[in-house]
Chain A
Amino acid sequence: MDYIVIIVLQLAVTVANLALIAAGLAIVFGMMRVINFAHGEFLMLGGYAAIVSHRAGVNLWIAMFVVAPLVVGAVGAVLERLVIRRLYGRMIDTMLATWGISLALIGLVTVVFGNTVSGISPPLGSLEVGRYAIGRYELLLAVVCAALYGGGWLLLRRTSFGLIARGTMQNRTMAAALGVDPGRVYAVTFAAGAAVTGLAGALIAPIAGVVPTIGAAYIAKAFITVISGGAAIIAGTLSSATLLGSINTAFAFAFSPVLGEVALLAAAVILLRLLPQGITGRFFRKSL
């Protein structure tokens, strides 16, 4: 019984992790078709922003929920202005330029902060389930993740900004004809995607630690999750995170963590062969 409870909790944590690291990418790729190869480094920056500001005396929660998204959102806005804006519609060039940004950010953070930054321990202690225990902080991540996706859904569905954003992504010319400035919508969307990524990076920093090269551990997983999800960013990313996360956890428990990772990747390949447009190309087509 305890074992089942702990497996379910572990599953929720794994899925939430996957959905968190993929959220910002879902925004910039799903809405703008920008392949942001610097996504992993945005996560890394979020972690650094939270930890460095916490070391400088900022309250941990403020550092994670306010400072990190602001800093990374601002970095995203600047990069959008300087680089991405010039490359809209050129998917491959954007990919390449963001790859360059990714390397530059790794280098810059290494030069400025070094590679040895002491981390923060996860707060909140642990939850005991019989002989098992799981970090309360990790469970909190699952809650935050749910709130983030819920908020995103409300924003896109219920606010006029959401309507304008969706409209601009679907038909830029028409939106412009109706008086919307598409450039501004893109800029805001990219910055918002960066901010969400920064938040995610800050949230995973206490359990994963921060090093300049940590982005590489997440980038492939985030991409595979978003692309397997398909066109509907919220339903798609959530459903693929759930599917891939479950497969990963099942194999990790039954065999080894490595086979868990391999199974995740293999599942994505098979999924894309069966559903070339991702999960939401076939299911939940009307959703967001």
Chain B
Amino acid sequence: MLKSSLGAAAVALAAVYALVVVPAEGQMTTMINGSVYASYGILALSLALIWGYGGILSFGQAAFFGLGGYAYAIAALNLGNTWAALVIAVALAGASAAVLGYFMFWGRISDVYLGVITLTVSLILYRFLNQTAGDEWTIGSAPLGGFNGIPSTPILTLPGLPDEPLSPEQIYVLAMGALFVGYLACKLLVATHFGRVVVSIRENEMRAELLGYDARLYKLGLFTFAGALAGIGGVLFANCVFVSPNMFNLQTNGQLIIWVIVGGLGTLAGPVIGCFLLLMLATFLGTVHQGGGTNWFDPNLVLGVLLTLVVVALRKGLLPLAIAGFDAIAARRGQRGRLARAADPLVCEPQAE
């Protein structure tokens, strides 16, 4: 039990740092970077939930991130009320996940085929939005903008004051707050009866069905929730940068899978940590080379080599590795780390592939 309270303490400490210390320091760069990372972090959380706990490997989870962002931008431009737009966007992201989930789970599609279908859906949206630069692609008063996206995406306003857009500092607090709330919501969800059934389906779908649970329904519920969560991430991203088709592309989807694996599949905090670390690394790499000469710090080269090494050298992600390290230390001290761990329902072992 010591360990789970340590974990809770770490999360609480991170929350205090992100929500109190950073805003008090007022370093703008940290806050803008933090807002972008937090919106991607919510997306990572959404995949961590369905893949790590539900065993649903969606290669195209960014589809709901993008849909949330676009729905928000279009609704906000047309309605003028950004909070209504937020609600619409999240509902739409969840609803599209429900429709796609119904299509897949009732068709009994699983494994890599499910991955390919979700990725393809994301790529279809990418291609579709990419070719909407023409005048004919306008929804109400919102031009879709094609490749360039919608730079005029409105910023969320103070509730009740439609003419007062939030400052970047406020967006930062909102995004970070949403990340922590989202994390807690997922944590609670997997601890409920619903969450346990979902994990049992991941472990053995047929056995769960024989026990009387409709696996399709449970998977659909989880997938819909995660879609809505990704949608929230998309809305926040739209508020930090603006929406563009790149939210749906192969790179975004690939990065997302990398965050989850590097951070640790089967945990919730791990993928968020993976997301933050890798984005920070990419941001740093962009400032290393100062023009002229050969750049051996090419971001692709560094990230690629690092990623390959991590996969080959570490079988698990960073967080499970840290937990295992903690266990080893605890065991040496005579505490019964392994037993404590087995009794902790919130730590799931990553699925053996």
List residues of chain A with CB under 8 Å of any chain B CB.
35, 37, 82-83, 86-87, 89-93, 95-97, 99-108, 110-111, 216, 219-220, 223-224, 227, 256, 258, 261-262, 265-266, 268-269, 272-273, 276-278
Is A35 within 8 A of B112, CB to CB?
yes
Q: B261 in the interface, Cβ–Cβ < 8 Å?
A: yes
Q: What residues on A are CB-neighbors of B265 within 8 Å?
A: 92
Question: Which of A82, A103, A266 has the largest number of chain B CB atoms within 10 A?
Answer: A103
Least Cβ–Cβ distance between A268 and chain B, in angstroms: 6
A106 CA to B305 CA, complexed, in Å = 11
A-B complex: 10 closest residue pairs judged by Cβ atoms: A107-B301, A104-B304, A103-B304, A100-B307, A107-B300, A100-B308, A107-B298, A97-B311, A258-B131, A103-B300
Q: A91-B353, A276-B107 are in contact. List 16 more A-B contacts (CB 8 A).
A: A93-B353, A96-B258, A96-B261, A97-B307, A100-B310, A103-B300, A107-B299, A107-B302, A108-B298, A256-B131, A262-B127, A268-B120, A269-B117, A272-B117, A273-B107, A277-B113
Is B304 within 8 A of A106, CB to CB?
yes
Chain B interface main SS type: helix
Q: What residues on A are CB-neighbors of B120 within 8 Å?
A: 220, 224, 265, 268-269
Q: What residues on A are CB-neighbors of B124 within 8 Å?
A: 262, 265-266, 269
Q: B294 in the interface, Cβ–Cβ < 8 Å?
A: yes
Question: Which of A89, A256, A269 has the largest number of chain B CB atoms within 10 A?
Answer: A269
Q: Which of B130, B301, B306 contacts A108 (CB 8 A)?
A: B301
Least Cβ–Cβ distance between B88 and chain A, in angstroms: 25
Least Cβ–Cβ distance between B185 and chain A, in angstroms: 26
A108 CA to B296 CA, complexed, in Å = 8
Q: What residues on B are CB-neighbors of A223 within 8 Å?
A: 116
A96 CA to B57 CA, complexed, in Å = 13
Can you report 14 A-B residue pairs in the complex whose CB atoms are below 8 A from each other? A83-B308, A92-B265, A96-B307, A97-B308, A99-B254, A100-B308, A100-B311, A104-B300, A104-B305, A105-B304, A216-B251, A220-B119, A268-B120, A273-B117
A102 CA to B340 CA, complexed, in Å = 41
Question: Which of B107, B301, B302, B305 has the largest number of chain A CB atoms within 10 A?
Answer: B301
Q: What residues on B are CB-neighbors of A91 within 8 Å?
A: 112, 353
Is B300 within 8 A of A93, CB to CB?
no
Least Cβ–Cβ distance between A28 and chain B, in angstroms: 14
Q: Which of A86, A216, A261 contacts B127 (CB 8 A)?
A: A261
Q: What residues on A are CB-neighbors of B305 within 8 Å?
A: 100, 104
Q: B333 in the interface, Cβ–Cβ < 8 Å?
A: no
Specify the chain A residue showing the minimal Cβ separation from B249. A216
Q: What residues on A are CB-neighbors of B130 within 8 Å?
A: 258
Q: Which of A86, A265, A269, A278 contacts B312 (CB 8 A)?
A: A86
Is A111 within 8 A of B261, CB to CB?
no
Least Cβ–Cβ distance between A263 and chain B, in angstroms: 10
Q: What residues on B are CB-neighbors of A276 within 8 Å?
A: 107-109, 113
Is B127 within 8 A of A111, CB to CB?
no
Q: What residues on A are CB-neighbors of B109 within 8 Å?
A: 272-273, 276
Least Cβ–Cβ distance between A113 and chain B, in angstroms: 11
Q: Scan B282-307; emit 1 where CB is below 8 A from any A CB, else 0.
A: 00000000000011101111111111
Chain A interface main SS type: helix
Q: What residues on A are CB-neighbors of B258 within 8 Å?
A: 96, 99
Is B307 within 8 A of A99, CB to CB?
yes
Least Cβ–Cβ distance between A48 and chain B, in angstroms: 15
A265 CA to B294 CA, complexed, in Å = 39
Given A97-B308, A99-B258, A276-B109: A227 touches B300 (CB 8 Å cut-off): no
Q: Scan B119-148; emit 1 where CB is below 8 A from any A CB, else 0.
A: 111011001101100000000000000000
Question: Which of B295, B298, B300 has the largest number of chain A CB atoms within 10 A?
Answer: B300
Q: B250 in the interface, Cβ–Cβ < 8 Å?
A: yes
Q: B257 in the interface, Cβ–Cβ < 8 Å?
A: yes
Q: Scan B222-263; emit 1 where CB is below 8 A from any A CB, else 0.
A: 000000000000000000000000000011001001100100
Which residues of B in the span 61-112 have a Cβ within 8 Å of any Cβ on A?
A: 103-104, 107-109, 112
A37 CA to B124 CA, complexed, in Å = 19
Least Cβ–Cβ distance between B310 and chain A, in angstroms: 8
Given A104-B300, A107-B300: A220 touches B250 (CB 8 Å cut-off): yes
Q: What residues on A are CB-neighbors of B107 within 8 Å?
A: 273, 276
Specify the chain B residue showing the minimal Cβ separation from A99. B254
Q: What residues on B are CB-neighbors of A265 within 8 Å?
A: 120, 123-124, 127
Q: What residues on B are CB-neighbors of A89 within 8 Å?
A: 353
Least Cβ–Cβ distance between B205 and chain A, in angstroms: 15
Least Cβ–Cβ distance between B100 and chain A, in angstroms: 10
Q: Which of B127, B250, B304 contacts A101 (CB 8 A)?
A: B304
A35 CA to B311 CA, complexed, in Å = 14
Is A227 within 8 A of B116, CB to CB?
yes
Specify the chain A residue showing the minimal Cβ separation from B121. A269
Least Cβ–Cβ distance between B306 and chain A, in angstroms: 7
Q: What residues on A are CB-neighbors of B304 within 8 Å?
A: 100-107
A276 CA to B115 CA, complexed, in Å = 12
